Amino acid sequence: MPSRANIYPELKVRSPLEQAWELFRKNTLAMIGLWGLGFLTLFTLLGPWLAPHPPYEQFSQALLLPPSWAIDGNIDFFLGTDDLGRDLLSRLIMGARLTFGNGVLVVLVALLVGGCIGILGGMSKGLKASILNHLLDTLLSIPSLLLAIIFVAILGPGLFNTLLAITLALTPQFIRATYNAVSDEMQKEYITALRLDGANQWRILRFGVLPNLSDTIVSQTTRGLSAAILDITAVGFLGLGAQPPRPEWGAMLSDAVDLIYLSPWTVILPGLAILLSVLVVNMVGEGLRQAINEVMN
């Protein structure tokens, strides 16, 4: 007996996460950025195993060797060497952990601390909210890099102090972004409906506020990560961050400035690494923001 045809087919409704991923996949620039971000993450996590040479090893017979595609290049040193004979490819790979990896760590801490304070401030009223608002206006009037330099000058030079200073400098930005987003959400009609339904503050936060903060979190995290990478490299370039011979990209750039005419690849390659890392972060963040906005709208 032939089976009956299903005249009431089930329509599978995709979750918002699946819809956002589908929209993100259609964005070519965002996918290119995602691949670049994946390589950066790979270098950060597996740098010691991917680097062809130890980053501090000096090859006295290969001082200022140009990249391998140049006439005088050597395939053993694919991106050339610096003035001490250290392999630039190995140092750039190891530097991903110091620059990009530490930038991610700084942003995660700033997001956690700033997000919690911003949520508490956005859901409060009266004197506490007013004091937080004016304090943030004061802190945000100072650029994050200047704040980081001030903190490093107080705490002393060094990579740990630099990361602590940049975390303290970026936290007010996350507080302000979260505070504004939560304050806007608290004025919405569905929040009023939740209150009339007898929901407490925790239920309002969990079911009414947090699901609508994804756009703000993605946008601010992207901006914060770009700022963290640039601040880490800028402080390193000024000699206040990671100290030589650590292969942090800003410190590498500072060490090679005097060699720009003699061996320009020692300056171009660290600068290009900084540029590409910020670029791929922004590409991924913009793609995520557009996908989330289309799903929510």
pLDDT at position 2: 53
Residue at 9 is within a domain? no
Give the burial class of 71: count Cβ atoms within 10 A of its Cβ; 0-12 exposed, 13-18 middle, 19 or more buried.
exposed
For the chain, the domain total comes to 1
Residue at 62 is within a domain? yes
Residue at 10 is within a domain? no
Residue at 1 is within a domain? no
Residue at 266 is within a domain? yes
pLDDT at position 207: 79
Within the chain, how many helices (H) and strands (E) appear?
12, 0
pLDDT at position 117: 85
pLDDT at position 241: 84
The number of C-alpha atoms within 13 Å of 57 and in the hemisphere containing its C-beta is 12
First-to-last C-alpha distance (Å) of the chain: 48
Gap between the Cα atoms of 39 and 75, Å rounded: 22
Can you read off the two tokens belonging to residue 41?
A: 């993450």
Tell me the pLDDT tens digit for each residue of 128-172. Answer: 667 777 677 777 777 777 878 888 888 888 888 889 889 988 888
Gap between the Cα atoms of 81 and 265, Å rounded: 9
pLDDT at position 46: 93
Q: Which CATH number do you get for residue 277?
A: 1.10.3720.10
pTM: predicted TM-score of the whole model, two decimal places: 0.88
pLDDT at position 123: 79
Residue at 4 is within a domain? no
- Alpha carbon of 233 to those of 27, 188, 228, 243: distances in Å? 30, 41, 9, 12
Gap between the Cα atoms of 208 and 223, Å rounded: 25
- Alpha carbon of 186 to those of 79, 180, 197, 297: distances in Å? 54, 10, 15, 19
Residue at 54 is within a domain? yes
Gap between the Cα atoms of 160 and 155, Å rounded: 10
pLDDT at position 279: 95
Phi, psi (degrees; rounded to nearest 5) at 112: -65, -50
Gap between the Cα atoms of 57 and 164, Å rounded: 30
Residue numbers in the chain where pLDDT is lower than 70: 1-13, 126-129, 134
Structural domain for 109, as ranges? 16-296
Residue at 3 is within a domain? no
Nearest residue to 240 (alpha-carbon basis) of 166, 158, 167: 158
